[in-house]
Amino acid sequence: MLTSSYNNGVSETRAYNNDNTLASISFSGASIGNLSYGWDANKNKTSEGVTGTMSGYGFDVGTSGYDDENRLVSWERDDSSLDQSWNLSLVGDWNSYTENASVQNRTHGDTHELLTVAGQAVTHDAKGNQTVIPAILRPGSDPLAMKWDFENKLISADTDNDSVADVTYQWDALGRRVGRDDGTTVTVFVQSGQQTIADYTSGTAASSPTYDYVYASYIDEPVMRSGTGGNRYYHRNQQYSVIALTNGSGAIQERYAYDAYGGLTILNASLSPLTTSAESNRYTYTGREFDEALGLYHYRARMYDSATGRFSSRDPIGYDDGANTYAYVGSSPVVRVDPTGTVMIRCGCKGRRGIPDKDAYVDCHGNANDCCRRACSPTHRPDCGWFGLGCDWDIEGADSDDSAREDYDAACGEIALCCIPIPGGAVVGAASRTCFRGAIIMTRRGHAMVRIVSPSGKVFLRHMPGQSFVGKPMTCRGAQYYLKDIAWWGKLFPQLPLRKPLNTSSTICSPNCVWTAIRGIGNGL
């Protein structure tokens, strides 16, 4: 996306760097404050600058903001009022958290559940759902007690430590939250797919919703709310976090700021802090819904706690998204998002959202150390099975200005082309320049299966190994692209072991290999 305009006179313009990372977001028609972004060589976000009255709420991570595994380890607000750092375990547990020089130690169990915070206990049920969050992690002086159903959905919460539920929740058969009762008001959430399109107060007529919501192409990108109080328009940063709410005439009603993991600050138009939203707005960090009574975010499948930087329950898809089932976005909170509460994704590149449709989720993240770059390098890389002598990347069907570097993070829905000079007589025959068409996807077991088609139509398979044991970085991590090749999708292919893709003289799979069905994600196929 380059530009967008609202009916209230506010417009937005986005500019991009040569590698398709977002350079800036400029707003006109309202004093929201323009945003600018810095990135390192691995496309980790290093800064977000803000102009105008919100200038102090930008951030910078400095030269040592990320560790060798591209995990965030330090973050500082531009006005120096908030300095955060993390001592991470191999799987991303916060062994300690430091805020403005105050250190908070934490302990974890064998399955990485949080056990103590500064000596105060965090308790869980038999399924690993948090049942008590201690007062030290709460904005007030009371702990938070929670109860869960048999599907690990939150059904009630006691916010004032009196053993009586203050809030209850209702869910439909598809696992969507459809109701909330705070003892005073029962709110009904009308769902379309995985989006809330209207709020009703229980008992009101169908023609009288409290609010209606309109979204853009990304699942967590509300653009307008109509209903009680008039129209409100949402304005967001690179990560889909709402930073301002304007009314029908373009006047700012509320502003929002966040720490690295989504700790929320609500401000009125004059920058005075608020304890609750005067606009009854719950769409904030990464476009997700904040529950003010609990201090938690609703991430569809799970509840997320910004004070601990983790989910309150285990990932319902198990270890598909990493070795730590409580971890949030692989300890990369200013780069990635997790709209479903199950799978982290990297925000999209130039003009793209990173997700092909509202119901499909896949991690499109590739980095400078992945096999795709190794395959397409100026030197011989036998560890990945290529013998290219120099090459370049392109994106099939893309505009000329979308040509990519060898470490390009391909967007979902694109097929990567790697053009490699091949010596005469080598496997695919003499050619001055041979382009291989590759589509990459991750299997359930964390291994990438790659299908490569030569110009002659010969099909090669390629295996990119994942972590060999917990805590060891992937030695040949594969970028993950959304697959469009229906002829290949859903078929069985060997997972281990595989031969090098250009080595056609040997079999692709030894007798004892494991066969894996590549599975689809979403409705895009």
**DSSP of 297-323, one letter per residue?**
EEETTEEEETTTTEESS--TTGGGG-S
H/E stretch holding 345 reads: strand 345-346
List the one residue out of 457, 350, 462 whose CA is nearest residue 414. Answer: 350
In a domain, 432, yes or no: yes
Name 35's bridge partners: 25, 50
Identify the domain containing residue 494 by its residue range.
362-525
Tokens for 330, please give them: 């692989």
- Assess whether 205 and 107 both reside in one domain: yes
311, 331, 351 - which closes a domain: 331
Tokens for 211, please give them: 């609010």
What are the angstrom distances between the C-alpha of 194 and each of 176, 357, 424, 442? 7, 11, 53, 24
Residue 371 carries which DSSP code? H
In a domain, 340, yes or no: no
In a domain, 345, yes or no: no
Cα-only R_g, the chain: 24
The reported pLDDT for the residue numbered 367 is 27
The reported pLDDT for the residue numbered 451 is 47
- Assess whether 305 and 371 both reside in one domain: no
- Assess whether 277 and 131 both reside in one domain: yes
What are the angstrom distances between the C-alpha of 275 and each of 204, 268, 293, 306? 29, 10, 11, 16
- Assess whether 202 and 286 both reside in one domain: yes
Cα–Cα dist 125/155, whole Å? 14
Cα–Cα dist 486/439, whole Å? 11
What are the angstrom distances between the C-alpha of 265 and each of 138, 262, 268? 14, 9, 10
- Assess whether 388 and 499 both reside in one domain: yes
- Assess whether 288 and 395 both reside in one domain: no
What are the angstrom distances between the C-alpha of 162 and each of 143, 157, 159, 327? 10, 11, 8, 30
User: HSE of 308 in the Cβ direction (CA atoms, 13 Å)?
Assistant: 31
Contact between 340 and 311 under an 8 Å Cβ cutoff? The reply is no
Cα–Cα dist 370/384, whole Å? 10
Pair type for strands 186-192 and 177-181: antiparallel
List the one residue out of 441, 440, 435 whose CA is nearest residue 453. Answer: 435
- Assess whether 168 and 214 both reside in one domain: yes
In a domain, 464, yes or no: yes
Q: Is 0.95 topped by the overall pTM?
A: no
- Assess whether 376 and 325 both reside in one domain: no
In a domain, 165, yes or no: yes
Sign of the C-alpha dihedral computed for residues 213, 214, 216 and 217 taken in this order: positive
Number of domains in the chain: 2
Tokens for 165, please give them: 């539920």
Cα–Cα dist 438/271, whole Å? 50
In a domain, 233, yes or no: yes
- Assess whether 218 and 314 both reside in one domain: yes
- Assess whether 318 and 370 both reside in one domain: no
- Assess whether 400 and 321 both reside in one domain: no
**Contact partners, residue 65, CB within 8 Å, separation at least 6:** 44, 46, 72, 73, 74, 75
In a domain, 246, yes or no: yes
The strand order across the sheet containing 74-77 reads: 3-5, 11-16, 22-28, 35-39, 45-50, 59-60, 74-77, 83-88, 94-99, 102-108, 114-117, 120-121
* pLDDT tens, per residue, the chain with 525 residues: 789 999 999 999 999 998 889 999 999 999 999 999 999 998 999 999 999 999 999 999 988 999 999 999 999 999 999 999 999 999 999 999 999 999 999 999 999 999 999 999 999 999 999 999 999 999 888 999 999 999 999 999 999 999 999 999 999 999 999 999 999 999 999 999 999 999 999 989 999 999 999 999 889 999 999 999 999 999 999 999 999 999 999 999 999 999 999 999 999 999 999 999 999 999 999 999 999 999 999 999 999 999 999 999 999 988 877 889 999 999 999 999 999 999 888 764 333 333 322 222 223 233 222 333 333 333 333 333 333 333 333 333 333 343 333 333 333 223 333 333 333 333 333 333 333 333 333 333 333 444 444 444 444 444 444 333 333 333 333 333 223 333 333 333 333 332 333 333 333 333 333 333 222 222 221
Cα–Cα dist 310/289, whole Å? 16
- Assess whether 200 and 56 both reside in one domain: yes
The reported pLDDT for the residue numbered 508 is 33
What are the angstrom distances between the C-alpha of 305 and each of 135, 190, 418? 13, 25, 42
331, 351, 377 - which closes a domain: 331
The reported pLDDT for the residue numbered 443 is 32
Prior bond to 497 cis, omega within 30?
yes
In a domain, 344, yes or no: no
Sign of the C-alpha dihedral computed for residues 55, 57, 63 and 69 taken in this order: negative
314, 331, 348 - which closes a domain: 331
Single-letter residue type at 46: T
Distance of CA 304 to the CA centre of its chain: 13
Cα–Cα dist 337/204, whole Å? 35
**Contact partners, residue 155, CB within 8 Å, separation at least 6:** 147, 148, 149, 168, 169, 171
Own/partner contacts of 382-387, CB < 8 Å, gap of 24 or more, are 383/476, 384/476, 384/500, 385/462, 385/499, 385/500, 385/501, 385/502, 385/503, 386/420, 386/501, 386/502, 387/422, 387/423, 387/426, 387/502
Residue 30 carries which DSSP code? S
